[in-house]
Amino acid sequence: MAPLAVSKQTQKEGVKFGYDVNICRSQKDVIPGINITNYEMLDNFDPDKFVGVVLDESSILKSYMGATKQKIFNAFKNTPYKLAATATPSPNDHMEILNQAEFLGVMRSSEALAIWFINDTTHSGNYRLKNHAVKDFWQWVSTWAICMSKPSDIGFSDDGFELPKLNEIDVVIPVDIFDIENGHLLRDVDTSATGFHKEKRRTAEDRAKKTAEIVNSNDEQYVVWCYTDYEADLLKQYIPEAIEVRGSHKVEYKEKAAEDFKEGNYRVLISKPRMFGYGLNFQNCRNCVFCGIDYSYESYYQAVRRLWRFGQTKAVNVYRVLGETEKNILQAVNAKAQLQQEMRDNMYKSAKQIQQASIVGHEFTLNLKSESVTLPRWIGGD
């Protein structure tokens, strides 16, 4: 199961490695072997007919009470073999990791919450790791999950898998914050997570013009990322040659637009990260422009990774066009990037400890508050 528009790409990737991948939209299309469909088609299938399932971009399981998450859980609860693959387990929301564990049949998320977490009284409805449980929690995660960014993370050579340079370029547009007409020296600027849309509307046209200026500075291909329809409308106005994809378009149009861009039939693609920012390969392009950003680190990271991924041979340029009053949003995204790295470091460290224990023939035991859990010696063993 994969995000929309990813199926054809995966089919082509399969050919490279000698596998036939069958694209299907309902159970009647299924054949023996590897079948792929998008999440929206789940209701058209009988999950009990499959021996294994892979969730591509499994961050779809993020929402603790989400209807989509529960539907996937129920559909594949009896499936013997499961793999959940995600590039961005949320660095500041451990709930997604617990949901991955429950999907895989490792432990119910409610049980994991009771063992390692405590209610965060500073943020209603949130949980945080107990201070004394941080090490044990990541050791537990490392028994059923692996965090890998390059082949050497699991003992293989990185030859051929070195990513090119990533250039992140901030383009900050001056914003008038004076409010003399209304009798105030300065106007109120609200760039909180809930109120920043009003400020973004003020800068939308200037951001769209600056984005067009960057895109039209050379004849290379560009992906232009935006977050609202009004931004997309402005971008299309100033970059008329571009092909634009939004949620209201039909599935067939979206799939064809992605293929046409990859084949070079269009120089500029305009879309939203939630639309084309997950799963697709755009190594044909080395330039992207964010016409503004929002507070989601995941959407930013994923959108950049459409271009900056294995198979990319050129340095990747990421332009971030934002108003001067929106710089705190960028700071929040950068802070989440640091949390993401800390999470990876914790997993790398824990996995290495467990692997070393397995190599010397020792079982690895986690001492929990009410019980001990002996972990299987599968990492680095037979």
List, for residues 131-174, the tens digit of each pLDDT value.
888 888 888 888 888 877 788 877 888 888 889 999 999 999 88
Is residue 178 located within the same domain as residue 282? yes
CATH number at residue 284: 3.40.50.300
Say yes or no: 149 and 298 in one domain.
Answer: no
Same domain, 87 and 234: no
Cα 239 from chain centroid (whole Å): 27
Helix or strand or coil: residue 249? Answer: coil
Q: Are residues 92 and 210 in the same domain?
A: no
Residue 65 has pLDDT above 70, yes or no: no
**Which SS3 state, helix, strand or coil, does residue 214 take?**
helix
Measured in whole angstroms, how far is the alpha carbon of residue 186 from the centre of its chain?
38
Which structural domain range is residue 147 located in?
Answer: 7-154
Number of structural domains (the chain) is 2
Q: Tokens at residue 286, please?
A: 């080395």
Amino acid making up residue 168: E
Give backbone dihedrals phi and psi of 124, rounded to 5 degrees, phi first. Answer: -55, 130
Q: Are residues 123 and 202 in the same domain?
A: no
Report how far Cα 82 is from the mean position of its chain's Cα atoms: 19
What mean pLDDT, rounded, does the chain reach?
A: 83
Q: Return the exposure string of 115-146: e unless at least 16 CB atoms fall within 10 Å of the residue's CB, then b.
A: bbbeeeeeeeeebebeeebeebbbbbbbbebe
User: Residues 138, 186: one domain?
Assistant: no
In a domain, 62, yes or no: yes
The C-alpha atoms of residue 252 and residue 269 are separated, in whole angstroms, by 16
250 and 208 together in one domain: yes
Report the predicted TM-score, pTM, of the whole model to 2 decimal places: 0.72
In a domain, 175, yes or no: yes
Q: Is 99 in the same domain as 229?
A: no
Residue 379 domain-assigned? no
d(CA 134, CA 117): 9
Q: What pLDDT, on the 0 to 100 scale, is given for residue 257?
A: 93
Q: How many residues make up the chain in this entry?
A: 382
Is residue 110 assigned to a domain?
yes
Q: What is the pLDDT of residue 184?
A: 46
Residues 219 and 274 reside in one and the same domain: yes
Question: Would you put residue 310 in left (φ > 0), alpha (ψ -120 to 50) or beta?
Answer: beta
Residue 149 shares a structural domain with residue 228: no
In a domain, 161, yes or no: no
Q: Is residue 370 part of a domain?
A: no
**Are residues 131 and 39 part of one domain?**
yes
**Token output for 295:** 């507070």
216-239 per-position pLDDT tens digit: 999 999 999 999 999 999 999 999
The answer as to whether 65 is a domain residue is yes
Across 261-331, the runs of DSSP E, i.e. the strands, are 268-271, 287-291, 316-323
Residue 184 lies in a domain: yes
Q: Is the same domain home to 177 and 143?
A: no
Kindly report, residue by residue over 5-55, the tens digit of the pLDDT. Answer: 788 889 988 998 999 999 999 999 999 999 999 998 999 999 999 999 999
Taking residues 60-88, what's their average pLDDT?
Answer: 85
Rounded mean pLDDT, 105-115: 91
